[in-house]
Amino acid sequence: MFVEYGTHDAVGLAALVSAGYVSAGELLDAALARVEALNPALNAVVNLREGVARGAIAAGLPEGPLKGVPFLLKDLGAEARDFPTHSGSRLMADSVWSYDSEMFLRLKSCGLVPFGRTCSPEFGVGPVTEAQVYGGPTRNPWNLSHTSGGSSGGAGAAVAAGIVPAAHGSDGGGSVRIPASACGLVGFKPTRARLPDGPDSGEGWAGMAVDGFLTRSLRDTAALLDAVAGPDVGAPYFAPPMRGTYVQALARTPGPLRVRFTTNTLTGAPIHADCAEAVMGTARLLDSLGHHVEERDFGGGPGVEAMMLAWTKIVACGTALTVRGKLAGAALNPALLEPATLAALRLAETVSGADYLECIEEIHAFGRRMAHVFDDCDVLLTATMGAPPAAIGQYAPHYDDFIEYRTGPTGVFDYSPFTVAFNASGQPCVSLPLHWNSAGLPVGVHLATAFGEDARLMALCGQIEQAAPWGGVQRGLIERLLVPL
């Protein structure tokens, strides 16, 4: 067994493979051993395809920058013939794709070795991963009584636990950044249309959903984004060209930037003290690095409540479209869906074509309002979440009213009040693991820049990682979990 596996990120492991120090097969052995040891407690990895992975290695891997590194796909999207999916739902269990998505093809071309999928809530809706198709919740490796987040919650748990150094995710309302915050990882959401979404999908959730990755290091994030960036044939949108690559941006030192921060939500509501403490600590760090840091009062905010209602209706309609496509005219067995999903279907039935277009207009109007937030600043700093990782069951999808689930007094908006704003605006943003609370739970910090300014954001993140490295804390968890091995 390659005992050093958990101490390296993906770039580091690829370098060892290239040098002949370890083989791709040995890395796969290590990853599978960790699945066997850790997954019973975490419930993070599903649909293992060891034979597919070993066949890819035997056939010869592409000479890409991440050659030989074991990798996991989210159990939602990243369509691939050899990797069936549940999409987090009993209705979709073991669905087989007839094609390989452009995202999957690009990931394979950089030499990665996919060998399974990671758990997601049903159809990716929700900030926790507690879907009945997996037989139980996905748990946080930092504390098994807490959620690993959602919707890329399985990916977050697998990466934090050291099963893989990086994993595929997707983000339509924070679904990469939420598990990054909950699991002490990096979760970068690029500018809308920076990454491919074809060939089967032109856009997800009216352009708000994008792919991404959960990693333990920024250099892994940069390498993965560079490996897949760029529109695919026929893409309906095109992101502004970047100044160089993500890897190049990571190596640059950003000039002095105008940073604005808030320890409240964008509506002015208070957040948990642990999250506010994380923001204040980061603000002090950025000030010490020479940036011009000021607190911002959003007052009534940029209209987040109206945007959130529009987002909720759009997602309900998208969920209904997915279910209708799977049923193909057959009758629905309600027992195959979560209560919150059934509630989304009921909501979608009340949304007319004109209503849907009105929601799209509200999302675009919100994007313009958020663009003006950056008229007098370069970076907006907030917490990633409104509270530390929630207890298992607190936000399980057992709601009978979808609007109540998303925005009601016991719903998920108070828990996740920040991330969805940047899906609506399409702006690049990131959750960084810069704080752990007194209970030892990760609390992410969120940074966002103007539309198209991915390179600026990545450069700033690199400066932060050098000044306040988090790798030692992550490795400490991996070492504790793998003592039995």
Find the range with the poorest average confidence among 39-43, 202-206, 209-213: 202-206
Question: Residue 429 belongs to a domain with what CATH number?
Answer: 3.90.1300.10
Entry pTM: 0.98
Burial classification of residue 410, based on how many CB atoms lie within 10 Å of its CB (0-12 exposed, 13-18 middle, 19 or more buried): exposed
pLDDT at 124: 97
Distance CA 74, CA 28 (A): 18
Bridge partners of residue 113, in order along the sequence:
70
Concatenated DSSP letters of 151-187: SSHHHHHHHHTTS-SEEEEEESSSTTHHHHHHHT-EE
Per-residue pLDDT tens over the stretch 216-262: 999 999 999 999 999 999 998 899 999 999 999 999 999 999 999 99
Separation between Cα atoms, residue 308 and residue 414, nearest integer Å: 12
Supply the pLDDT for residue 483. Answer: 60
Q: How far apart are CA 176 and CA 164, in angstroms?
A: 16
Secondary structure E strands in 119-165: 139-140, 143-147
Element (H, E) at 260: strand 258-261
Find out whether 153 and 197 touch, Cβ atoms under 8 Å: no
Cα separation, 466 vs 271, in Å, equals 28
Active site amino acids: 74, 151, 175
Boundaries of domain holding 348: 5-481
**Per-residue model confidence (pLDDT) at position 201:** 80
163-187 pLDDT, tens digit each: 999 999 999 999 999 999 999 999 9
Neighbours of 31 (CB within 10 A): 28
For residues 128 and 150, the answer to whether their CB atoms sit within 8 Å is: yes
Residue range 315-327: mean pLDDT, rounded: 97
**How many domains is the chain partitioned into structurally?**
1
Instruction: Give the pLDDT score at 285.
Output: 98
